Amino acid sequence: MHLVSGMTVRCENALSKEILKANDQRLKLNNSDHFESNNNYAKVRFSTTVIVVSSLLILSFIILSNDSRFVRTQLPVNCQQSCRVQFVESIPTGLNFSAGPIHRATHEAWLDLLNKANESIHIAALYWNLNSSEYPTAEYGRHVYEQLVEAGRRGVSCRSCQIRIAQDVSKGMSDNEDSRRLAEQGLAEVRTLDFDKLLGSGVLHTKLIIVDMKNIYVGSANMDWKSLAEVKELGLYIQSCPCVAEDLHKIFKVYWHLGKDGARIPPSWPSTLDTPFNILSPMEMVWDGVQTDVFISVGYCRKSSRSPVGKLLNERNSVFCGFM
């Protein structure tokens, strides 16, 4: 069973249209992508909805019971915060674009994110493959792994930096040696989800890093050196944004619960996972000086105004999508 989740960002600024246009021009430069566009931007509203949709935002979400073992996360009452947001991307070696914006590299954003950790790191991952190759660009994966080790050691010494990893069982993809070593060295707590046992089929497809409950990466990149150097990937690096971090952490808590030995699917939602934010009541925030509405949507793959697919359908007259 797969469930789809999306982070929806509405920017009330004409600049967003120009950013999308520039990205479209760059996408068209790669003929192998067979990307076509009529460049008819007159139909794009000034209130442009940017929906970053890919495996980056495909989250497996399970209904949970009202379980006292869950600790309620108190979202800040005032979410009218000013957050720093960057697009980050991975571009394969040898693939060059002569026009369009150049975004920060994914591995650089990850290193910066992990280096800032003082209290906690929560990672949701499909599989691990950071250290498996001596290929030149595999060094990006090794650097990320080394930064995780360093963060874990800071936690061991000061007892403050907690690393938790929720991962898929990754059958046929990886032996998850990287995360196993972190756990064996006492640098991280690791739980593995097996959706075949929980639901009969499915995977945890989330790629998410939350640091200190305020800094976040959410994107398409796996914990794999190839995702950092040899595969097209796209994500958001969000800084100083506790409202978004706390809301995403609710999703992580679902995974953490279901990764316990003998875990089963409870029959109903827990009140601890309630959120005041949705399509009708988004977070009203300022992202890099732009007034922005944000909500994290989680739902089954169905046509619904509260699901990402429903959101896309509702906004189909003003949506710009680029697919990798």
Tell me what percent of the chain is helix, strand and coil, each rounded to the nearest 5: 30, 25, 45
Tell me the C-alpha distance between 36 and 34, whole Å.
6
Return d(Cα 34, Cα 17) in angstroms, integer: 22
Distance CA 138, CA 131 (A): 7
186 vs 169: CA distance, rounded Å? 20
The pair of structure tokens assigned to 164 is 């938790």
Positions annotated as catalytic residues are 205, 207, 212
Tokens linked to 49: 């909805």
Q: Quick one: tokens of 168?
A: 């898929």
List strand residue ranges (DSSP E) for the chain, in order: 3-12, 47-52, 82-90, 104-105, 120-125, 128-129, 162-168, 189-193, 208-211, 215-219, 223-224, 233-239, 283-287, 290-300, 319-320
Q: Which of 219, 191, 190 is nearest to 206 (CA)?
A: 219
CA dist 220 and 224 (Å) reads 11
Contacts (Cβ under 8 Å, ≥6 apart) of 236: 7, 52, 85, 86, 87, 88, 216, 217, 218, 219
